[in-house]
């Protein structure tokens, strides 16, 4: 049977190993150190990338993240790489709609009114009929679209070519991204960091957004022109923005994004990799691996996703 190494912190390694043993993997197949006997690695890409020179015979690497940039940048690519897909959609949707409702129901204004002992009779708006645009309609984008339809929103999506999600009212491709942005109430960027996506959401493109729009970036920071966004926010050209990902993380205290007008910052926490979700995904692929079936969620090293 193949030897497995778990590339996590010491505490996480113990927790993952206990869970996997409880769910049927024999303890003897786990290694305390990565070496030339290692055939399978499960773990964080940041930790795995430092092990690649130690595991010349590794055949399969399962990332605990959706993004696998450290492994894409490494020279070694003679193995099957799978990422954590299909487990973050609900978490991302909860995050995005938590903030959408925060804005549309005037929650912050109501809190301020309460603090000032003011009987605030301003009425909240409804999401019904509001227009949300998704840049990237993979498993995460599709789940955000599904939730949007629960609120009776109009949903448009931008993809490279596919039109898989049935929750999208209208698809856009190629050079049509500026056209999609017209009239949006919300723009949600859910893109991986690839050669094609880096800098895609630049200042020129964002200038197509109406001033009423709230922009979200929950994909990768490299996709967004952060300086351009701050310029638009400070000039009152966008209603607000919510950023969970950044080009540099942690975001330096000197970064102007901290003080940009109507910008809400979270620290890459919109969709954590919960142990049970990742471990169950691994177990499903592990059974496929033992049965010599194609693994799910394989990453194309050339495309970057």
Does 220 participate in catalysis according to the annotation? Answer: yes
Which of 154, 198, 268, 288 is flagged as catalytic? 268
Which of 39, 143, 220, 226 is flagged as catalytic? 220
**What are the residues facing 40 on neighbouring strands?**
4, 60
Which of 73, 249, 276, 296 is flagged as catalytic? 249
Give Cα separations from 50 to 34, 58, 205, 250, 303 (angstroms): 11, 13, 37, 21, 22
In angstroms, the CA 265 to CA 274 distance is 22
Tokens of 22: 């409880």
Are the CB atoms for 270 and 91 separated by under 8 Å? Answer: yes
Does 268 participate in catalysis according to the annotation? Answer: yes
Does 154 participate in catalysis according to the annotation? Answer: no
Phi, psi torsion values for 94, nearest 5 degrees: -60, -45
List the catalytic residues.
Answer: 220, 249, 268
């Amino acid at each position: 049977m193949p030897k497995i190494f778990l590339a996590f912190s010491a505490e996480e390694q113990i927790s993952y190993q206990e869970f996997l043993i409880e769910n049927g993997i024999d303890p003897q197949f786990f290694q305390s150190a990565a070496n030339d006997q290692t055939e399978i690695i499960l773990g964080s890409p940041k930790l795995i990338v430092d092990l690649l020179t130690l595991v010349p015979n590794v055949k399969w690497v399962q990332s605990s993240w959706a993004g696998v940039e450290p492994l894409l940048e490494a020279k070694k690519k003679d193995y099957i790489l799978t990422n954590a897909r299909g487990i973050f959609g609900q978490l991302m949707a909860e995050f995005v709609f938590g903030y959408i409702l925060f804005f549309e129901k005037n929650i912050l204004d109501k809190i301020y009114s309460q603090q000032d002992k003011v009987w605030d009779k301003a009425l909240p708006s409804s999401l019904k009929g509001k227009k949300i645009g998704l840049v990237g309609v993979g498993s995460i984008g599709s789940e955000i679209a599904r939730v949007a339809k629960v609120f009776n929103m109009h949903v448009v999506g931008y993809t490279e070519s596919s039109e898989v999600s049935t929750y999208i009212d209208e698809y856009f491709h190629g050079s049509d991204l500026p056209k999609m942005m017209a009239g949006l109430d919300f723009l949600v960027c859910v893109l991986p960091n690839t050669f094609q996506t880096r800098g895609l959401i630049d200042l020129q493109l964002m200038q197509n957004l109406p001033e009423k729009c709230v922009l979200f970036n929950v994909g990768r920071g490299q996709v967004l022109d952060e300086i351009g966004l701050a310029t638009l926010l400070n000039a009152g050209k966008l209603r607000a923005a919510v950023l969970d990902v950044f080009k540099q993380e942690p975001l330096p205290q000197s970064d102007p994004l901290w003080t940009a007008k109507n910008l809400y910052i979270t620290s890459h926490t919109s969709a954590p990799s919960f142990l049970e979700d990742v471990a169950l995904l691994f177990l499903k692929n592990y059974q496929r691996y033992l049965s010599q079936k194609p693994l799910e969620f394989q990453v194309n090293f050339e495309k970057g996703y």
